[in-house]
Amino acid sequence: MRPHVRLPLCAVSLLLLACDRQPTAERVVTRPAPVAEITDAAPEPFVEQVIAPVGVHNFSARDLLALDRVGDPQVSPDGRQVLFTLRKTDLEQNRGRKDLWVVRRDGKPPIQLTTDPENEDAPRWLPDGRKFLFLQKHAGSVQVWRGSLDGDAPAALTSFPVDLANYSVSPDGRLLAFSADVFPDCDADKILACTAERLAERGKKSHSSGQLYTRLFARHWDTWKDGRRSHLFVWPIDGSRPPVDISHALDADVPSKPFGDSDEYVFSPDSKQLVFSAREAGKTEPWSTNFDLFVAPVDGSAAPVNLTQDNPAWDTGPVFSPDGKTLAYRAMTRPGYEADRFRVMVRSWPEGQAKELSPDWDRSADELMFSADSQLIYLTAQQLGQTPLFVVDLAGGPPRAVVSDGAVSQLRRAGDRVVFLHNSLHAPDELASVDLSGGDLRNHTAINASKLAAARMGEALPLEFIGADKASVRGMIVKPVDFDPTKKYPVAFLVHGGPQGSFGNRWSFRWNPQTYAGAGYAVVMIDFHGSTGYGQAFTDAIQDDWGGKPLEDLKAGLAAALAQQDWLDPTRVCALGASYGGFMVNWIASQWPDAFQCLVNHDGVFDNRMMYYATEELWFPEWEHKGPYWEQTARHELHNPVNYIDRWRLPMLVIHGALDYRIPETQGLATFTALQRRGIPSQLLVFPDENHWVLKPANSLLWHDSVLAWLDLWLRSRA
């Protein structure tokens, strides 16, 4: 079950054994000085733990953690420099740590700007191109800080009594829009202080811990609701007046929770208005996907006005053209469907009717960005296992791919070039750019070059075959490291989640096929009916057919892979999946057991009935099974794994996060109970501090070590 905007990756003894096999070491490396102290002098050294083995070696989960993560690129006003975040794994603190870096487009190496032990996040330039803002947690509070390329010491810009979640700077550099969780029944003029006072009062000792709910959501993703909403505020950077809550009149989270960010709101080019996306659905919120675009004056002098009231489905991602004459955004058309096609919509600003750009283009747009002359829109969308960069003319015509291979994201305008992040199956995100026609591809960072050079990976091969309904279906095969065509290799058969998702040519820090290839396994991944990037009809085909066409495709895909590559061993195959992939593992256990020697189920659905009544985002099962459980019982039960437990016999490793409220942990516990009661070899790995994903570094290591140990047990020790 994917998040509604985007879906995861040693008991202690296992971890210690793993460390015995691959010992860590210490090395001395240099780190640039903080912004306030950048000089020509050599920076002081610091000690960093080496996560991955030293020297050339096969790729593993330790390399996955050792790789640094480039994110959130922000181009300076003159287009010559790019601020970005760099996340490193801190094993001692068991978390990721972000610092700010800057790189020039002239090819010089990146420079580190911040070194505070706390995370620095969300960098944003101020108009002078020398100063910038960022989010940082200091003294227990997340606030906006101001830094400078001129050597000035970073200083807190805001000191509000509550944490800030995200923010944006107005085009004229005078205003800050930010979101914060507040109690909506507080007085609008005192809402920040009122919220802080209530939280402090709740923090005092009390004999009662109960929370009374009168409507859903009671909990969402991994958090129980406490009565607060995310509201959008506007504040003058000079502090001349208090913040104005411009979304106070709405019963909605702005931006949306739990994954919404500053991409859901935007200043108008004249800095006088904000356009934002919000779902004002009242008690129907848990089964509604009706997000609308609203516009409000930045001074709060008028209530927000709904710009897309005529569309009962999802509207989001507003962006303005540089000349201020056009508003573009993304829109779905079918209510209650989170995987509908996002169409590109444009309307003249401020008055004008919305129209769809390239209505015959059967791809779902992800990000939008105008060209400097306001005549073109650059966008990303999944396509046949890739996530290319496209460009489309506002005058009409279909989008044209200008960067076709790998996965492109986070588009930024930089004068005569487009800056973006780019990754593939063989490397995580790095900064790159192309000219406006899509030519002259340049790489601006190579943060992980030396680490990638030391870690050997498997070669990826395309797979295409005829699947359900005689449709062309695609997939991918990844060879094991040190591949020898004369040998037979065990197979990790990965089933993606979503189910409207894809295992394509992109990097993942959770389900990464290279971790299996490095351990000597071949990997087979199938983009079955329901997958994204192959046209909306292909994505829609999984509705009310979870165990039908997708299973046919998986069967045909594995058969095709085995037929095309005779080095794949058909007697040593294990199926692994998370979320919907975990559902499919439970379904395979009864419907297709003869092809496998073992199974791995992470956060998978066991019982569709209890899944419906215990999950939080009800629009998901209601769309997938065409209605609430009590109205469409037969549809929910048609492909329900719990009805076929009598057929189970395959060994299964079950993994679940206790904070997973999308697919609650009782689904995993019930799966394990059924396996144990039937006497089937099985293990249960529970993470009390993880949600639908496994995010903490030590937990990720345990996850990978446990999964590979399970595969080794059933595919290697019994070979």
Beta strand pairing call for 489-495 and 568-578: parallel
Helix axes 697-711, 11-21, angle to 10 degrees: 80
CA-CA-CA-CA torsion sign (148, 152, 153, 156): negative
Identify whether 704 is a catalytic site residue.
no
Identify whether 529 is a catalytic site residue.
no
Q: How many angstroms separate the CA atoms of 422 and 129, rounded?
A: 25
- Half-sphere exposure in the Cβ direction for 243 (13 Å, CA): 25
Q: How many angstroms separate the CA atoms of 463 and 477, rounded?
A: 7
> 102: Cβ–Cβ under 8 A, 6 or more apart, which residues?
81, 82, 83, 84, 110, 111, 113, 149
Which residue out of 692, 704, 705, 706 is catalytically annotated? Answer: 692
Which residue out of 60, 168, 579, 590 is catalytically annotated? Answer: 579
CA-CA-CA-CA torsion sign (175, 177, 180, 186): positive
Helix (H/G/I), strand (E/B), else coil: 518: coil
Q: How many angstroms separate the CA atoms of 253 and 180, rounded?
A: 10
Torsion of CA 139, 232, 122, 90, to 10 degrees: 50
Which residue out of 660, 682, 704, 706 is catalytically annotated? Answer: 660
Q: How many angstroms separate the CA atoms of 228 and 217, rounded?
A: 12
Q: How many angstroms separate the CA atoms of 356 and 360, rounded?
A: 10
Quick one: how many helices (H) and strands (E) in the chain?
13, 42
> 133: Cβ–Cβ under 8 A, 6 or more apart, which residues?
122, 123, 124, 126, 144, 145, 146, 147, 157, 167, 169, 176
C-beta neighbour count of 313 within 10 angstroms: 21
Residue 272 corresponds to which tokens in the numbers above?
Answer: 């006088």
Q: How many angstroms separate the CA atoms of 75 and 412, rounded?
A: 7
The reply to whether omega before 73 is within 30° of 0 (cis) is no
Identify whether 692 is a catalytic site residue.
yes
In three state form, how does the secondary structure of 218-277 look? CEECCEECCCCEEEEEEEECCCCCCCEECCCCCCCCCCCCCCCCHHHEEECCCCCEEEEE
Are 524 and 561 in contact, with CB atoms under 8 Å apart?
A: yes
Q: How many angstroms separate the CA atoms of 717 and 719, rounded?
A: 6
Residue 388 corresponds to which tokens in the numbers above?
Answer: 């290319």
Are 221 and 258 in contact, with CB atoms under 8 Å apart?
A: yes
Burial class (CB in 10 A: 0-12, 13-18, 19+), 320: buried
- 613-625 as b/e: b if 16+ CB within 10 A: eebbbbbbbbbbb
Concatenating the DSSP letter of every residue in 587-620 gives HHHHHSGGG-SEEEEES--S-HHHHHHH-S-THH
Burial class (CB in 10 A: 0-12, 13-18, 19+), 373: exposed
Q: How many angstroms separate the CA atoms of 319 and 307, rounded?
A: 14
Which positions are catalytic?
Answer: 579, 660, 692
